[in-house]
Amino acid sequence: MVHSLSNDETDPVDVPPRKKSRKEPNARSIVGVAPDRQPVLELAYTYIQLKVLTDPSKTWLHGRPELALATQEAFDWALNQMQVQPDLFEPVTHLEQDLCRERIYGARGELKELARLIAASDSKNGDGFGFMVCSVKATKEEQERIAGLNRALVETLTHKSAFCFEDPLDRTMKGSMYQHTSIGAAVNKGVYDGLVSYGMQYPDYFDDSLFRVDPTQEDVSHKPTLSLVLLALIVTALRAAIMEWSSGHFIPETFSRKIYKPHFDRELKVLREWRDYTSNATIIPGGGPVRKAPASFLTRTLQETLLAEARANVLKDVVAPVPSVVPMDASDFALNQ
């Protein structure tokens, strides 16, 4: 099955495959791009990946006009990285736009695939939720039993986003929001999986501390904080991975814009509201005089911790060689005369 992409759709649409001539090039292959433009396109893919993960306006692009602007922006960024004047380069073509759209799908799909692997892992020895896989040789009764357990688990995990809590079965635990190990695992493996990973090579894109909410604030000296957009996308991908078990057995689903953009928008809104809530003093419930608790900054602390732990996980095994110190002597002085 191949995918057809119309000018008005950003999600793949299944169409019957057609027979291609051996001489016909792949309609969406980089080999169809002029050789002198291929290095630029490949670098533009990096920019697209970064923006999909950290810019909500690029995560779920819709329609040809948005795609054209995003692709041209990516090419301009790539040309700047290569120190080439954008004015000397022809505007992007429809083929290049389509290839960049495939990269958008790829960036989202890779994160969803990672979330799928994490969600399906063991809840005790891994970072997942403990879904049960049924053997093909199981009896009908056993299949129904396992399916029932999985359906109940999906219901529990998705109720008020319980899967985000450190213990999905106890949402009342203090300071446990967005503390489930699956979230940190997705950050580490999806963005900070090595020295040449996106998070390590392009740290500014994943650091919200560089973008102050209130530019009038004087105290902006806090530590680097992980992007809330990335966090919202990871949570959305984990939700999508959990929903693949909603029938009681695993059934793969597409991480589509139509279904999951509303979830993403809602997750990002909740995270921003939580950040604002924890950044201000809160009224302590109860009778008597009004009492206020100081700002907890739980959201910012979470962002700082996730980012610091992700970087530390990459750097823990990196030991930079320390060169021996050889001081200069008279022979060096003589050479410099």
Task: Kindly tell me if the per-residue pLDDT of 17 is higher than 50.
Answer: no
Question: Residue 84: inside a domain, yes or no?
Answer: yes
Helix (H) or strand (E) segment spanning residue 15: strand 13-15
pTM of the entire predicted model: 0.83
pLDDT grade, residue 232 (50/70/90)?
Answer: very high
Give the count of domains, the chain.
1
Phi, psi of 157 (to 5 degrees): -65, -35
| CA nearest to 46, candidates 184, 260, 198 | 198
Tell me if 242 is assigned to some domain: no
Q: Which of 68, 74, 77 shows the shortest CA–CA distance to 97?
A: 68
Interior angle at CA 231, CA 56 and CA 118, nearest 5: 125
Q: What is the torsion angle, in degrees rounded to the nearest 10, for the CA atoms of residue 285, residue 287, residue 289 and residue 292? A: -10
In this structure, is residue 69 part of a structural domain? yes
Question: In the numeric block, which tokens belong to residue 164?
Answer: 């985000």
Residue 272 lies in a domain: no
Domain assignment present for residue 177? The answer is no
Is 45 part of a structural domain of the chain?
yes
Identify whether the C-beta of residue 106 lies closer than 8 Å to the C-beta of residue 113. no
The answer to whether residue 160 sits within a structural domain is no
pLDDT tens digits, 19-35: 444 444 445 788 889 99
List phi, psi (to 5°) of 290: -70, 125
* Domain around 74: 2-15+28-107
Higher pLDDT, 6 or 213: 213
Strand partners, 226: 207
Q: Is the pLDDT of residue 56 over 80?
A: yes
Reported as a single tens digit per residue, the pLDDT across 82-104 is 999 888 889 999 999 999 999 99
Residue 15 has pLDDT above 50, yes or no: no
Per-residue pLDDT tens over the stretch 324-333: 888 888 888 8
Answer whether residue 124 is part of any domain.
Answer: no
CB-side neighbour CA atoms (13 Å) of 238: 30
